[in-house]
Amino acid sequence: MERNTILTGLILIVMISGVLLAFYLLYVRYGFKNFWLIYLLLIILMISFALRTQPKKEMLDVEKYRTVTVIKCEKCDYREERKFQRGDYIFKRVGTCKRCLGHLYIDDIYVIPPRKK
């Protein structure tokens, strides 16, 4: 694999040097009159091709989620949201309602995925 990487690097260097040399010669000979745009375009194409084949960063990232626990009262419309705590599960009873003394239970646990940039 090492050899392969070195070879790839060499090929790239040769190609880029060739393009730059051609660019320079054209500059000396024609003074940017006719072909410089074509060569510039070629260089831009090569760079963009190299960038395009880079792995996408998001593919390699580990996403961070935020988990929410929703608590409701069995009798009244009391509702509370808090961060998930280990030991939480849906329909677990988690105490009594301050408003009506009814049972509080976990109605929902869900994740909110990170916002895509």
Partner 1 sequence: MQFPWQQESWNWIINWIWLLLLLVYMFYGQRLQVSIWVRQIKRALQKLEYMVRKGKEITIKAFREVGNSDTNLVSRINDFLEFFVIEPVDRDPSGIMHKLEHLVNVRDERFESIVAELAPNVNRDKAANLENVLEAIIALNFIYRIVRHFLILGEKNKSYVLILQLQMQLPEIMKYANAYFDALKAFVDGKPIGDGAGVLSVTRLLREHGVVSEEDYEEIVKDTVIAQTEIDDRTVIVVRARGPGGTVGKPGEAIRKLFEEKKLRINRIIMIDAGIKLEGEKTGGIMEGVGAAIGGIGVDKYKIEEVATKYKVPLDAIIIKEAIEEAVSPMRREITEATRKVVERVKRIINERTKPGDIVLVAGIGNTIGIGY
Q: Which spans of this chain sit near partner 1 (rule: CB under 8 A)?
A: 1, 4-5, 7-8, 11-12, 14-15, 18-19, 21-22, 25-26, 28-29, 53-56, 59-60, 62-63, 65, 67, 74, 84, 86-92, 108-113
SS3 111: strand
Q: Which is nearer to partner 1, 78 or 84 (CB)?
A: 84
Q: Which is nearer to partner 1, 87 or 98 (CB)?
A: 87
Q: Which is nearer to partner 1, 38 or 99 (CB)?
A: 38
Minimum Å gap between C-beta 22 and partner 1 is 5
Q: What is the DSSP letter of 100?
A: T
| Tokens encoding 70 | 């929703």
The radius of gyration of the chain from alpha carbons, rounded to an integer in Å, stands at 31
Minimum Å gap between C-beta 59 and partner 1 is 5
Contacts of 110 (CB under 8 A, 6+ apart): 67, 68, 70
**Separation of alpha carbons 58 and 64, rounded Å:** 12
